[in-house]
Amino acid sequence: MVKKSTYADILEIAYRLFAEHGFDKTSMSMISKELKMTKPALYYHFPSKNSIIDALFNEICQSIRFEYFFDITSYTKQNFEQQFINDGLKILAAQQTDEYYARIMNQYQALGYREVHYAQTLINILEGFQTGFEKLLQYGASCEVVHTQDLSLAAQTLTMIIDGMDNFVGYGFHYRYEDIWIKTVQTIIKGD
Amino acid sequence: MVKKSTYADILEIAYRLFAEHGFDKTSMSMISKELKMTKPALYYHFPSKNSIIDALFNEICQSIRFEYFFDITSYTKQNFEQQFINDGLKILAAQQTDEYYARIMNQYQALGYREVHYAQTLINILEGFQTGFEKLLQYGASCEVVHTQDLSLAAQTLTMIIDGMDNFVGYGFHYRYEDIWIKTVQTIIKGD
DNA sequence: GTCTATAATTTGATAGAC
DNA sequence: GTCTATCAAATTATAGAC
């Protein structure tokens, strides 16, 4: 067992506690207790509770960008549909392995309603998906493998489906997510 | 200007404050101040802050059930597609007129992660949509107007789209929601 | 880097008068 | 139904010793 840095320890513990109890009901006392250190020791590493919340936010946002899951350079005319389906399912799989993900994101969304900085970052991520999907579909159309006319609308639909799957998974719904994704992608590829 | 009941006044003010500042950062002092009464006066009407949150929750849940928007008895073979589209757009319109709706629901979702009672009620509502859509599609299939084979999958997709539209509207995304809904419904009706 | 001790503030909630 | 006054508890954050 390698000793991780205190900084990383704090973020890991805070992530779990924030998910379980929420930002507001997780006090610095709770975090320090769980870390087996005292409150002032915790304050030595982070100047405030908000700075922990922010550090966590930045770390999470790095790992959920469109480019993290979809690599446009790996797409060809031959593998297009399969690759598209697989890359989307990677997101689903990632979320399903992190039981706290949805709870945490729900709270950052709430923060976003009150502080534009959070909202803007989250909006940028979702816009990354939308424009990413659009570029991918444009490439597909140029290969004559995508037949939908309205690529922009298709990209919006895909973004909403991806976001919706995250939400529903996090809420414990046992939907047939794989099938929903596959069918949505196939319908768009096939065109009207 | 008719004088509403104090009870209703409190819920109206609390709804706005909860949306603007969140449950935790909205204190009973803030609510009473906004109502131009004192804190103990507020406590006379509601025994606790949680009881306000609960009363609001019950009121909201009444107004977002599937049956509130979709009346299956009004569907015929002739009007099926148009009626389906219109009823879905009614939800979208309702949400767009209430600027606080998404913020409030985001918080009840967060509560649901910590107290099953909230989660169960929200899940019931979403399940109401899913089974409602399925029944509607079944009726459509019996009229030979719906041609999708997998009605259950279609119902799940529709539920996710409805929920996703609420989320995205609330976050200020200017998506082409009407078109997304229309196209989704038409694709399902048309079948593979 | 970690500790003890404590300041400063806010909160949800109540007693009791009118 | 509304008020003044107040409580007990909890919270974020800091001073200062080791």
Query: Kind and range of the H or E element at A156?
Result: helix A151-170
Q: What is the pLDDT of residues A47-72, one digit of tens each?
A: 999 999 999 999 999 999 999 999 99
The model's confidence at residue B20, banded by pLDDT at 50, 70 and 90, is: very high
DSSP H or E stretch at residue A148 = none
Q: For residue B1, is pLDDT > 80?
A: no
Amino acid at B190: K
Per-residue tokens: B189: 């009706």
For residue B74, give the DSSP letter.
G
Residue B47 to residue B22: CA distance in whole angstroms:
20
pTM for this model (two decimals): 0.95
pLDDT tens, position by position, A91-142: 999 999 999 999 999 999 999 999 999 999 999 999 999 999 999 999 999 9
Check B113 against A106: CB less than 8 A apart.
yes
From CA B187, how far away is CA A187, in angstroms rounded?
Answer: 8
Nearest nt to the B52 alpha carbon by C1':
C12
Q: A8-23: per-residue pLDDT in tens?
A: 999 999 999 999 999 9
Q: How many CB pairs under 8 A join A and B?
A: 103
Where do runs of H (alpha helix) occur along A22-77? 28-34, 39-45, 49-62, 66-69
Contact indicator for B146, B120 with CB cutoff of 8 Å: no
pLDDT at B135: 98
Buried b (16+ CB within 10 A) or exposed e, A130-149: bebbbebbebbbeeebbebe
Q: Which residue of B has its CA nearest to A113?
A: B103
pLDDT the model gives residue B4: 72
Task: Give A192's pLDDT tier (boundaries 50, 70, 90).
Answer: confident
Amino acid at A48: S
State residue A188's pLDDT score: 98
Cα separation, A20 vs B113, whole angstroms: 8
Q: Which of residues 45-84 of A touch strand C (CB under 7 A)?
A: 45
Dihedral sign from CA coordinates of A129, A135, A136, A137: positive
The CA-CA-CA angle for residues B36, B63, B20, to 5°, reads 40
Q: B113 vs A122: CB contact, 8 Å cut-off?
A: no
